[in-house]
Structure 1
Amino acid sequence: MTSTSRLDLVEHGGWVTARLSPATGRRLAESGVVEVRPDPYDATSWDVRALGKVGAVRIAGVDVSVAPKLPVRRLFFLVGYAADPTRGWHTDEEPVDTGSHEGLVPALAHAFERLADRALRQGLLQGYRTVEDALPVVRGRVCTTEQMQRRYGSPFPVEVTYDDFTADIPENQLLRAAAERLLRLPRIPVAVRHRLLRLVTRLTDASPLVAGRPLPQWRPSRLNHRYHAPCRFAELILDGTSVEHRRGGVRVDGFLFDLAKVFEDFVSTALTQALRAYGGHCRTQARHYLDEASDILMKPDLVHYSDDGVPRAVVDAKYKAERPAGFPGGDLYQMLAYCTALGLPTGHLVYAKGNEPQVRHTIRGAGTVIVQHALELDEEPARVLEEVARVAACLAVPIPNEPCSSDARVTGVITQRTPSLVSSTRALA
């Protein structure tokens, strides 16, 4: 029977049976992208299901596509808000355009190409770049030390350094590299592929990036304002969420979102914004220790501190409830440890709605309260951020013995203390 060359899966969906050689099945299992189990009675039959990563990759000759349960636009909102809470992926004209594409990778390629094309309509951005070179004529400043060390007294060529006004700047380098990376991904529509090729042609003055080196650094400013959204999108495509590496002995090529990381970043960023109305400051992944000897390191997703540095509240974002065998309340145990180490009476777990109910637990013998909040992500952006504001109010103004985010008094607190946050989010819908 013909081996399977394409797998279409859904995030945390059911098992799909595929015809794979034993070697291919083992490579899929080793990739860590999907969960794989062999059929005990048929060496060429394997059951495959997706885990918490979505996107498209090619592993051992098999094209694996994992679709998110969330609509693509909602996923892009979460990622974009975490990258820039003031604008997300929005531009002055309109929100990010995903076209009519339902698949994540086609929509991603379409959206990036549209953003980059809009940025380049006024021509390539140019800037000054410091260049060190050996020239037959003097340009800029002569590097006397380098001239003596490299030329041994010979007058030519001249070692010089000068500022060159050029299009070969980090912003254009990022756009070119992202377009070239997208062209290597599977399932890019033909029309989008052609537009990406034209984009690369327009960016030929920008140097290609060298594999393995850090991404070029750029700084948002008034001068490169039109490049802000496409550059952030390009970094998303090129950074750790973009997969092109070997895991063990298995090469994985493609693009993946880790939904747990996406949700964690969104919750941390959105709560940090919402808590500004209550004073103090927030830190993500703050380092704390559970034991007196400082051997057991803990890094909660978000800790809210008072102005004098005393912890006020602790939050951990969980896209999916952790239920390892034998420890059905793993998330609760972890939060109890955070509260104990930080000396807090209440801890907060924030889940994606549908993965865990909204309840509160009072720990016997300790009195510590752990509140589980649930965010409905498949809502308009303004509505999602209103729910985040309710969670923030619960953190800042706790109400004893009642669920926070559904309480009428919390809604009143939001209206009085965070009106600008709630009203400004409507523009993102």
Structure 2
Amino acid sequence: MTVLVSLVEHAPARGFPLPDAVGRALAGLKILGEAAPDAHEPGVWRLRAGSRVGAVAVAVPGVETVTVRITPKVPVPRLFFLLGYSKDPHGWRDGTVDAAEHTELLPALAHAVERQTDRALGRGLLQGYRSVEESSFVVRGRVRETEQIRRRFGMSLPVEVTYDEFTTDIAENRILRSAVDRLLLLPGVPKAVRTRLVHQRARLADITPVVRGQALPLWRPTRLNTRYHQALHLAEAVLDGSSAEHRPGGLRIDSFVFDMNRVYEDFVCVALREAMRPYGGRSVLQARGTHLDEGHSVRLKPDFIWYTGAGVPGIVADAKYKVDKRRSYPNEDLYQMLAYCTALGLTEGHLVYAKGNAPHASHRVRRARTVLHQHALDLDQQPALLLAEVRALTRRMVTGAGEGGS
């Protein structure tokens, strides 16, 4: 028996009758914002979605499978835009990803991956050179002398060799094959889409999938693999967001989730970087080399720093996805931004929220020259309008940096 639990991102907690094993598994995954037994009704668990959206299936052997679907507040096509733009801002085009009639995240993504994979493979599988290291009785390519001595102790055969092989079993095809395999195991993929995914897997039958736990093979965008780009970006999103594990008692958990905090943060950083290009200088995302103290023991990691042409910090910004409307903008974010401004020697700092209570607010810090700005982006608007709003925000930041004399 299959039990479906539907939640909405950041909606209030609701009670659901669930086996205790399933409730404990959901609580242990830490995917939901809240998963706890109801204090008044035995057998009922109170569930609340946080910032993670997608689907989780918990299978109890011989009993039932509980599938939790978490719907994002932003429309699915808009979520695809945020994902696609952050991965490839120059390759993104409106309508590139077709979500068809699917309004839920996983079915829409599965459909998009299948369509893009079909387009990528329309002219046959991409071929390329792959470096191979193996033991051989025939010398081919170059002898790995160190390995030959270490493993063969002076024996002449077999020979440890390395060579380049022209094959279809390359990184691009391996990523597509692995994503298709993963989607076929996830709950909630429609039957029609699943059938088409099986067809794509047949086309990739001779390709080696990535073993679970291994890092994805690296690929580099080139003119030769242009037709693969969109499919690969979507496939990487599937592989980054999916996981499977077994728990004591035979529980099997399959999940596919996106953290909207990370999705929004990645989008804002990339969009700011692209909008800053006309102004020259250099943009740094997730700046890890920043410290609060002179002893470099307190590490800071601003989401975005723009350096002027002289290499001096000019703008610092941090992306914040969720605003609790009951508390307005959180004070903790202001303290964090003040630390960034102090460490970088800036008189202005910028917090960029998803649409909240107000489009803009600013705070001048007492006994200091620092002004902290809180901006809000409206994610409900069309992509072109959203990017225009980011460019307007960038102009405001640049103007403020010039007036501040930093």
Is the TM value for this pair above 0.5?
yes
Shift in Å, 1:131: 2.4
Question: 1-side partners of 2:353 and 2:253: how far apart?
Answer: 30
Match of 2:85 in 1: 81
Unmatched tracts of structure 2, length 5 or more: 60-64
Question: 2-side partners of 1:245 and 1:259: how far apart?
Answer: 23
Matches within 5 A, 1:129-144: 129-135=130-136, 137-141=138-142
Query: Is contact 2:2-2:67 (8 Å) kept?
Result: no
Query: Is contact 1:321-1:356 (8 Å) kept?
Result: no
Match of 2:57 in 1: 58
Q: 1:157 to 1:366 in 2, by over 3 A?
A: closer
Residue from 61, 71, 76 that aligns with 1:72: 76
Match of 1:126 in 2: 127
Query: Is contact 1:320-1:356 (8 Å) kept?
Result: no
Question: 1-side partners of 2:30 and 2:326: how far apart?
Answer: 18
Match of 1:168 in 2: 169
Shift in Å, 1:128: 1.5
Query: Is contact 1:264-1:318 (8 Å) kept?
Result: yes
Residue from 16, 19, 34 that aligns with 1:18: 16
| 3-state SS of 1:205 partner | coil
Question: 2-side partners of 1:400 and 1:360: how far apart?
Answer: 17
Question: 2-side partners of 1:248 and 1:374: how far apart?
Answer: 45
Confirm whether residue 303 of structure 1 aligns to residue 305 of structure 2: yes
Q: 1:362 to 1:176 in 2, by over 3 A?
A: same
Q: 1:292 to 1:57 in 2, by over 3 A?
A: same
Query: Is contact 1:242-1:255 (8 Å) kept?
Result: yes
Question: 1-side partners of 2:3 and 2:371: how far apart?
Answer: 50
Q: Which residue identity does 2:244 align to in structure 1?
A: E
Cα deviation 1:130-178 (Å, max 9, x = unaligned): 2233445554455667667666777665554332211110100000000
Q: Which residue identity does 2:227 align to in structure 1?
A: R
Question: 2-side partners of 1:248 and 1:343: how far apart?
Answer: 53
Question: 1-side partners of 2:293 and 2:248: how far apart?
Answer: 35
Residue from 28, 38, 49 that aligns with 2:26: 28
| 3-state SS of 1:359 partner | strand
Query: Is contact 1:21-1:43 (8 Å) kept?
Result: no
Q: 1:155 to 1:39 in 2, by over 3 A?
A: closer
Q: Which moved more, 1:106-115 or 1:359-368?
A: 359-368
Query: Is contact 1:319-1:355 (8 Å) kept?
Result: no
Query: Is contact 1:31-1:252 (8 Å) kept?
Result: no
Match of 1:312 in 2: 314
Question: 1-side partners of 2:314 and 2:239: how far apart?
Answer: 36
Q: What TM-score do the two structures reach when normalised by structure 2? A: 0.89
Query: Is contact 2:244-2:254 (8 Å) kept?
Result: yes
Question: 2-side partners of 1:293 and 1:228: how far apart?
Answer: 44
Query: Is contact 1:322-1:329 (8 Å) kept?
Result: no
Shift in Å, 1:245: 5.0
Q: Which moved more, 1:255-264 or 1:60-69?
A: 60-69
Confirm whether residue 189 of structure 1 aligns to residue 193 of structure 2: no
Q: Which moved more, 1:125-134 or 1:147-156?
A: 147-156
Question: 1-side partners of 2:72 and 2:364: how far apart?
Answer: 34
Match of 1:243 in 2: 243
Residue from 367, 371, 381 that aligns with 1:365: 367
Match of 1:405 in 2: none
Question: 1-side partners of 2:324 and 2:293: how far apart?
Answer: 23
| 3-state SS of 1:193 partner | helix
Q: 1:247 to 1:293 in 2, by over 3 A?
A: farther
Q: Which residue identity does 1:281 align to in structure 2?
A: R
Match of 2:394 in 1: 392
Shift in Å, 1:341: 1.7
| 3-state SS of 1:5 partner | strand
Q: 1:227 to 1:365 in 2, by over 3 A?
A: same
- The alignment covers a number of residue pairs equal to 394
How many percent identity over aligned positions?
Answer: 51
Shift in Å, 1:323: 9.2
Shift in Å, 1:243: 3.1
Unmatched tracts of structure 1, length 5 or more: 402-429
| 3-state SS of 1:168 partner | coil
Q: Which residue identity does 2:242 align to in structure 1?
A: S
Question: 2-side partners of 1:101 and 1:184: how far apart?
Answer: 19
Q: Which residue identity does 2:274 align to in structure 1?
A: Q
Confirm whether residue 106 of structure 1 aligns to residue 134 of structure 2: no
